[in-house]
Amino acid sequence: MTRWDTGAPVAPEPVIGYRDWVLIGDEILSPLARTPWREAVMRAECLPSCRAARGLWRGATHHAGPAPDPSCVCGIYALFTPPRRRGRERLALVRGAVALSGRIEVHRRGMRAELARIVAIGLPASPRETHGALVRVAERLEVAAVRPRELEAVALAHGRPLAPALIPDPGVADGARRGRLRRVRGGRA
């Protein structure tokens, strides 16, 4: 399956990924670009404010095509597995699951996608920590607000994880072997 306008490979069905947001008031924002997620579905853009940033794999570049571009840092980032909390975090990070679609750039630690739809927001372990604000965010976006241990099960009702065969070898540096998601025989990706 390919996009009709560019011929680029696309996922045959949504790919589940996991990501963080920053909670400010009753709004969640992308941690790096600080883009507010006011709707459950987001389309990636190559933002001028992010072009000066350096990504984990490369620097940003100007390009005419849609995000994510293989030579840029643009796209909606997600990990293959839910991120783990690391001690005391400085920001009010929100864990969640997204269903990715459209163009997807695959790297050894995660993916950058053209489209992402939030399918679940993880509630904090302690109800005192931002629980009420996250419930309001989830209600406004019309997505599930779940306990962290339920995140993966809820996410899998909306897509499937990326097949391990499509994830680059951890021993190979990103950039040396990055790839785009492609359709494999039998419609499984």
Q: Which residues partner with 97 through β-bridges?
A: 18, 120
Q: pTM of the prediction?
A: 0.79
> Looking at residue 96, what is its pLDDT?
96
Contact 182, 167 (CB under 8 A): no
Question: Contact 158/16 with Cβ under 8 angstroms?
Answer: yes
Question: Is 5 inside any structural domain?
Answer: no
pLDDT at 163 over 50: yes
Domain membership flag for residue 170:
no
**Quick check: is 122 in a domain?**
yes
| 115: confidence class by pLDDT, cuts 50, 70, 90 | very high
- Average confidence (pLDDT) over 155-170: 89
Say yes or no to pLDDT of 2 above 50.
no
Q: Residue 131 pLDDT more than 70?
A: yes
Contact 15, 119 (CB under 8 A): no
Reading the block at residue 159, the tokens are 């897509």
Q: How distant, in Å, are the alpha carbons of 6, 59, 67, 119 from that of 42?
A: 20, 22, 12, 12
Tokens linked to 32: 């790096």
Calculate mean pLDDT across residues 4-33.
Answer: 79
- Per-residue pLDDT tens digits for 69-106: 887 788 899 999 987 766 555 667 899 999 999 989 99
In the predicted model, what is the mean pLDDT of residues 138-151?
A: 94
pLDDT at position 22 is 92
| Residue 179, domain member (yes or no) | no
In a domain, 4, yes or no: no
Mean pLDDT of 100-121: 92
**Closest by Cα among 147, 141, 137, 73 to 110:** 73
- Position 146 in a domain: yes
> What per-residue string of b and e applies to 103-112 under the rule 16 or more CB within 10 Å gives b?
bbbbbbebbb
- On whether residue 183 sits in a domain, the answer given is no
Tell me what the mean pLDDT of segment 54-82 comes to.
75
Q: How many domains does the chain have?
A: 1
Task: State the residue range of the domain holding 31.
Answer: 15-164
- Please state the rounded mean pLDDT for residues 108-119: 93
Which pLDDT score is estimated for 32? 79
**Between the CA of residue 186 and those of 1, 12, 17, 42, 189, what are the distances in Å?**
12, 10, 22, 28, 9
How much is the mean pLDDT over the chain?
78
Residue 153 within any structural domain of the chain: yes
Least confident of 17-31, 63-77, 128-142: 63-77
